[in-house]
Chain A
Amino acid sequence: MTHARTVEIAVGAFVAAGLAALFLLAMKVSNLNVVGSDEGYHVSARFDNISGLRVRSPVTMAGVRIGRVSEIRFDPNTYQAVVTMRISEQYDQLPLDTSASIYTSGLIGEQYVSLDPGGDFEFLQDGSELMLTQSALVLEQMIGQFLFSLGDGDKD
């Protein structure tokens, strides 16, 4: 009887350790606590070039993450990328003329969308579209432009 009890306790501890490991991984290691499943509202923005932006990339305002990119698709009529973002519902007072830019965190970091608030008194709602956007900076283009302007300078 005592042996059976020891076995049961050991199995219980084993299963508890496994679940504790899952809990630790979910809460401490992954971004589960940041993403609140499907709550929040969606806004979209059009960019000429999104470079390396991906679904689930962060959306920030003043450096604070307020949402994530939920969908990226290509509009064949305007030849632009349409980026849909999900913003947490607690940030529901963003001005209607908020602008969106794509930046890179660090030199080789990942791409993210940065929102800059405008001055409008009306707020963004589900389905709104951001009118002011700034595309991602593509390093090759910048180097190309830099070299081009360098060449111009020599000629003068």
Chain B
Amino acid sequence: MILDWLQALGQRALSFFQRLGRGHITLYYLLIAIPSVLLRPRLLLQQIYSVGVLTLLIILVSGLFVGMVLGLQGYNTLVRFGAEQSLGTAVALTLLREMAPVVTALLFAGRAGSALTAEIGLMKTTEQLSGMEMMAVDPNKRILAPRFLAGVISMPLLSLIFGAVGIMGGYIVGVGLLGVDEGAFWSQMQANVDMREDIWNGIIKSMVFGVVATWIAIYEGNDATPTSEGVSRATTRTVVHTSLAVLGLNFILTALMFGD
């Protein structure tokens, strides 16, 4: 009875570490395949299109609305203390430090990560990947690494666009609708937002999230059980694991960057 329980526990632990190990082996192959991707920029371009450009619309729309909500909520709180002039600072810091990297990574997992997993999982199920190996084409270099690099490049760009659009959204609500002074909005923002401290740290965050989100998506796709059910479970796992990893890592990164 207790032995069965112990055995089940041991099995779970072993399979967890096996998955962790396979994940890191995947990452290793992805990383050493990157130089060969740079020699064939056309593959990379195609992937940046499907990973980055096609995610742009959802990023633009959510960035605008997140910024507008921040403007509205920030105003309602700040106006009680007569500090509505700090609205620009509040909106910009919230967006650049936390919202832009995290929400972009979550949307990226839902929009691009799941698509990557499904695509690679289906390729594996229909044995396209092993077919490539038969023809002496390395699927790591041809299929996986371009997608990985495209995700890593796209994420910071998407996050920057999210931040800029979000600040515009906060500006529209704060200055346009609620009547915060335009000069105070921008000047307080400029006085309190630091290039290195806030913007650059946000970019570093989104780079880390880009690596993690794309890595998980590619690993899950490559590691999926080659059945239709396996692909569907892998896609679910991608979204769940990426979201958890991003939120957890975000706390650690915030503590390291802004914890003092």
Contacts and interface: CB of A to CB of B under 8 A. Distances in A.
Interface of A: 4, 7-8, 10-11, 13-15, 17-22, 24-26, 28-32, 34-35, 56, 58, 108
A20 B160 CA distance: 9
Contact of B193 (A10, A22, A30): A30
B199 A14 contact: no
Interface string B154-166: 1011101101110
B186 A11 contact: no
Contacts of B144: none
Nearest to B83: A108
Contacts of B56: 14, 17
B164 A32 contact: no
Contacts of A22: 160, 199, 203
B49 A30 contact: no
Contacts of A10: 49, 53
Interface string B215-238: 000000000000000000000000
Contact of B48 (A4, A14, A31): A14
Contacts of A34: 190
Given A18-B157, A31-B194, A25 B53 contact: no
A52 to B, nearest CB: 14
A25 B164 contact: yes
A7 B45 contact: yes
B158 to A, nearest CB: 7
A14 B186 contact: no
Nearest to B154: A14
Given A18-B156, A25-B160, A11 B53 contact: yes
B161 A17 contact: yes
Give me the 4 closest cross-chain CB pairs, A-B, nearest first: A18-B157, A21-B164, A21-B160, A32-B195
A29 B81 contact: no
19 contacts: A7-B45, A10-B49, A11-B45, A11-B48, A11-B53, A13-B53, A14-B49, A14-B157, A15-B157, A17-B161, A21-B160, A21-B163, A29-B167, A29-B190, A30-B193, A30-B194, A31-B193, A32-B195, A34-B190
Given A18-B161, A31-B190, 15 more contacts: A7-B49, A8-B45, A14-B53, A15-B157, A19-B157, A21-B157, A21-B161, A22-B203, A24-B164, A29-B96, A29-B167, A29-B190, A30-B199, A31-B191, A32-B195
Interface in B149-184: 154, 156-158, 160-161, 163-165, 167
B35 to A, nearest CB: 21
Contacts of A26: 195, 199
Contacts of B212: none
Contacts of B165: 21
A15 B153 CA distance: 9
A25 B49 CA distance: 24
B46 interface: yes
Contacts of B49: 7, 10-11, 14
A87 B21 CA distance: 54
